[in-house]
Amino acid sequence: MSLVADWYSPRPSALAIALRPLSLAFGAGVALRRALYRAELRKSVALPVPVVIVGNITVGGSGKTPLVAALVRVLGERGFSPGVVSRGYGRDRVDDTPLLVDPHDDPRRVGDEPLLLARAGCVVAVARDRVAAGRALLARHPTCNVIIADDGLQHYRLERTVEIAVVDAARALGNGWLLPAGPLREPATRLDEVDAVVTLLTDPTRAAPARANAFTMTLSAGDFARVGNPGTTAPASAFLGDDVHAVAGIGDPARFFARLAALGIRAIAHPFSDHHRFSAADLAFAGARAVLMTEKDAVKCESFADERCWYLPVRAEVDDALVALIEKRIRGPQAA
């Protein structure tokens, strides 16, 4: 069993137990860093527009990027002009000069998730320093009046107006231990401090945890689209039967494979690490009738994908009450 799988197992392995002293040291470092910002010995920097943080307290995927895309969409419908900043994990970096993302960019240059957001119509800037990314975005797009930070909960240098933590209901907080013995970046009590905890529900029979700041989101899927030619689509029924393979280089590949199974697709699963840099060899499955993947993976496979390769687009549906909370916070006292 891999260490990541062990984080979500009811019975910890000897390795996870042995790593617990390192988790305690990691937790002390997290607490010290937060204390330095609270004491203003390290300074948070405010941008000239409100900032909405979308992040999580666990490593790996929990639905942050689909939620960011949904918030850009619904805030735009309410009269705002949102922009997005992101670190751009997995990209090549010669330096950390902020980059404005073009929908035709190379994912190796800007990162897979920022490119996915740009193709969804979002204005996106990437840099490890999200303050620098925000300033670059506002300089290029001065009409932008709210910034959404994709995966910025622990980036305390960026001052925030609203904090949203996303939790995957299926995996929750794992064994509850901090890194490296568990999946937590910060203690579970951090969820009591954020403005909203958004639970991703993949099982309609599962209820979100009851808490004062709780909201839910779901992911709805459309038809499959051909990699490199999204105008060509096919329903799930086209992939029933044998000789179908599926790849996933996301935080929780099992979630994608489970969705395919729910659609009746018996795919041979090939999990990869999050932000995996795919090559043609990764898709070279002899005799495969179709190779299915997520949209996040598809942007990295376009240059070598063939007609067998398809991706499944998803769209986040969020609580209206969450949007109302965000709007109230970013409009400020005049919204009361």
Q: 228 with 201, same domain?
A: no
Q: Could you report the per-residue pLDDT of 22-34, keeping only the tens digit for each? A: 999 999 999 999 9
Query: Residue written as tokens 């839910």?
Result: 216
Q: pLDDT > 70: what percent of the chain?
A: 96
pLDDT in tens, 96-136: 899 999 999 999 999 999 999 999 999 999 999 999 999 99
Residue 50, domain member (yes or no): yes
pLDDT for residue 166 is more than 90: yes
Residue 286: left if φ>0, alpha if ψ -120 to 50, beta else—which one?
A: beta
pLDDT tens string 44-63: 999 999 999 999 999 988 89
Strand order in the sheet with 146-150: 99-100, 124-126, 82-86, 146-150, 51-55, 162-168, 196-200, 214-221, 314-318
Pick the residue with more confidence: 225 or 335?
225
pLDDT digits (tens, 9 = 90+) for 271-304: 999 999 999 999 999 999 999 999 999 999 999 9
Q: How many helices (H) and strands (E) does the chain have?
A: 10, 15
Residues 6+ apart with CB under 8 A from 250: 61, 256, 274, 294, 296, 297
Tokens of 63: 């639905």
Residue 231 lies inside a defined structural domain of this protein? yes
Together in a domain, 211 and 283: no
Counting every residue written for the chain, the total comes to 336
Structural domain boundaries, residue 168: 25-80+145-219+317-335
Q: How far lies 255's CA from each of 58, 123, 261, in Å?
A: 16, 28, 10
Number of domains in the chain: 2
| Pair 203, 299 in one domain | no
Residue 324, pLDDT > 50, answer: yes
Is residue 257 located within the same domain as residue 240? Answer: yes
| 171, 76: one domain | yes
Residue 123 inside a domain? The answer is no
Same domain, 59 and 166: yes
Residues 164 and 261 in one domain: no
pLDDT-derived band at 12, boundaries 50, 70, 90: confident
Instruction: Quote the CA–CA distance of 162 and 203 in Å, as a whole number.
Output: 27
Please, what is the angle between helix 320-331 and helix 64-77, to 10°?
A: 70
For residue 271, being part of any structural domain is answered with yes
Token pair of 278 as six digits: 């795919």
Residue 209 has pLDDT above 70, yes or no: no
User: What is the spatial distance between Cα 74 and Cα 277, in angstroms, rounded to a whole number?
Assistant: 31
pTM of structure: 0.94
- Domain of 153: which CATH number? 3.40.50
Mean pLDDT of 244-268: 95
Lookup: tokens for 81: 């002009």
Could you tell me if residue 95 is inside a domain?
no
pLDDT of residue 33: 97
Looking at the domain assignment, is residue 214 inside a domain?
yes
